[in-house]
Homo-oligomer: A and B are copies of this chain.
Amino acid sequence: MRLTACGEAKARIKTLIKSKAETLLMRGPESIEHFFSPQTVAVIGASDHKGSIGHTIFENMKKAQIKALFPVNPKHATIQGIRAYPTVRETSGQIDLAVIVVPSHAVPSTLEECMQHKVKAVIIVSAGFSETGERDNTRKISELIGKYPSTRVMGPNCVGVLNSHNKVDTTFFERSRMKEPKKGTLSFISQSGALGSMILDWIATQQFGINKFASYGNAMDVDESDLLEYFGRDKNTKVIAMYLEGAKEGRKFYETAKKISRKKPIIVLKGGRHDETSMATASHTGSMAGASKVYDAAFKQAGIIEADDILDLFSIAKMLEREPLPKGNRVQIITNGGGFGIVTADQMLMNGLALAKISHQTAARLYKQMPTATISNPMDLIGDADVERYLNAIKAAHNDQNVDIIVVLVLFNLPSLELGKLMGLAKPHGKITKPIMVIAIGSEFTQKYLEKMEHEGFTTFNYPSIVAKALKEVVAYSEYLKKN
């Protein structure tokens, strides 16, 4: 009896372990992969009607590097010239990802069909659920998620995903109105689809790129923590940026962020930071933004970098994606315009950074190389500075142990700056261990040369205040890593 009982218990434990392992496998970070790297995709609600969401998503998905794409639409035999299926059941074989773009009342039945068909991941683009106060269909979706745990669900009320590597793209913004972001190592999670897409479009104008993007809407199943966990493990992701109105499960998000921030920087722009705006988030993504102070404190403890605004979110992301982390807060400013240097130094000091004091040896060497320059901080190479002078100054600052961060200001419109040689203003050879930021303000000519400097490997910006604000956060993150 004892033996038998023991055997039974063992068997039960074994089953339990197996089921836990299965659940982990089924609903762990690996399950999120199906959203980004599916081999077979069905677009349910694919349409021939130009300008409709069902049309745009299907059209965009045709460019994806996948094995098979199925339009599902019971009213048409073909969609955009491709054979259509009345339901997902009729499509052949395993579907990795289904995108649902049908009227809200039809979402529960469509979702159940997908689940019965063992679709691995479903993105519900359709809106009209908890964010509008709707209850009936919302409850049905919730029950289905509980009943079929092996299908992961993103949404509803979301734009889904974008993977710059295989062109899997369920966002439904017209490509003619947007620029495609470059491939990069930044992954971006946005609770708001529209805001997310707007930012993707903006990033496309910048010299850094996107790895993956996800907008998860009402977060009935897949939430910010799942995505954070996934990007934390994703080898192609170096930096994680987020737009977050309210975390679905605060504790889960905190724990996940705390674990991941040690390996990769997480930058969050929090929407709804005031009582008045927190109310507005309820009607936007159906989430309550929650007390701002609680979030602030949790973000700090979890090592999350909090951005003030959209502009800051991506200035910080760009800096972290491109440059090494600074070891401290001592900034050396190098300029060919005195006033520009002073204004920039003011910004650095206003943001709690320090002006570096280079060693006497470095100063003496620079004085010899450029007797007319003001070897101080700002280091003013003066109006007739050439590329040589810049190079010497950057190298010296990079080698000086009293400098943590180098900020290079360039007035490109000074006649003495020989543009033929400008590209010689490359980063010093060898390993770069300190962040070097270039700032210039101006019209087309200046922007063109800034772009050229980006190609040479420099990280460039347009305004001192933006750089100073971003550096403040990056330095604080560097300090956090030292202590945690």
- Residue positions of A touching B, CB distance < 8 A: 51, 53, 56, 172-174, 176-179, 190-192, 194-199, 201-202, 204-205, 243, 245, 269, 271-274, 276-277, 280-281, 283-285, 308-312, 336-343, 345-347, 349-350, 355, 374, 376-378, 380, 383, 411-416, 441-446, 462-466
Cβ-defined partner of A178 (8 Å) among B271, B342, B380, B443: B443
How distant is the Cα of A199 from the Cα of B464 in the complex, in angstroms?
Answer: 13
Query: Roughly how many angstroms separate A312 CA and B274 CA in the complex, as a whole number?
Result: 24
B443, A245: Cβ atoms under 8 Å? Answer: no
Listed A/B pairs (13) with beta-carbon separation below 8 Å:
A56-B415, A174-B413, A179-B442, A194-B338, A194-B340, A194-B414, A196-B339, A198-B337, A271-B339, A276-B355, A283-B376, A284-B380, A311-B465
Given A178-B445, A192-B337, A194-B337, A309 and B202 contact (CB-CB distance below 8 Å): no
How many monomers of this chain does the complex have? 2
**Are the C-beta atoms of A345 and B277 separated by less than 8 Å?**
yes
Contacts of A273 on B, CB cut-off 8 Å?
346, 349-350
Question: In the assembly, what is the distance between CA of A274 and CA of B343, in Å?
Answer: 10
Chain B's closest residue to A280 (CB) is B342
A309's nearest neighbour on chain B, judged by CB, is B465
**A445 and B179 in contact (CB under 8 A), knowing A198-B411, A276-B355, A339-B190?**
yes
Q: Do B338 and A280 touch (CB < 8 A)?
A: yes
Q: Which residues of B lie under 8 Å from residue A443 when comparing CB positions?
A: 178-179, 201-202, 204-205
- CB of B383 within 8 A of CB of A194, answer yes
Taking the closest CB of chain B, its distance from the CB of A350, in whole angstroms, is 7
Q: Are B310 and A346 in contact (CB under 8 A)?
A: no
Residue contact A349 to B277, C-beta cutoff 8 Å? yes
Contact B205 A463 (CB under 8 A): no
Q: Is B178's CB under 8 angstroms from A339's CB?
A: no
Complex contact B338–A197 (CB within 8 A)? no
Which residues of B are found within 8 Å of A463, using beta-carbon distances? 309-311
> Which chain B residue has the least Cβ–Cβ distance from A292?
B346
Give the Cβ gap from A58 to chain B, nearest Cβ, in Å: 14
Residues of B with C-beta under 8 A to A284: 338-339, 341-342, 380
Docked CA distance A295–B341 (Å): 20
Is B177 a contact partner of A339 (Cβ separation < 8 A)? no
User: In the assembled complex, which residues on chain B have CB atoms less than 8 Å from the CB atom of A191?
Assistant: 339
Given the complex of chains A and B, what is the CA–CA distance between A285 and B338 in angstroms?
9
Find out whether the CB atom of B412 lies under 8 angstroms from the CB atom of A343. no
Interchain nearest-CB distance for A199 vs B (Å): 7
Partner of A199, one of B173, B346, B441: B441
Q: How far is the CA of A283 from the CA of B372 in the complex (A)?
A: 12
Check if A442 sits within 8 Å of B178, measured CB to CB.
Answer: yes
Which residue on B lies nearest to A196, using beta carbons? B339
By a CB distance below 8 angstroms, the chain B residues around A276 are 345, 349, 355, 377
How far does the alpha carbon of A374 sit from the alpha carbon of B279 in the complex, in Å?
12
Closest to A446 in B: B201
The verdict on A283 contacting B337 (CB below 8 Å), with A198-B413, A198-B442, A414-B194 known, is no
A345:B380 contact, CB within 8 angstroms: no
A82 to B366 alpha-carbon distance, docked (Å): 43
- Give the CA-CA distance A270 to B377 in the complex, in Å: 18
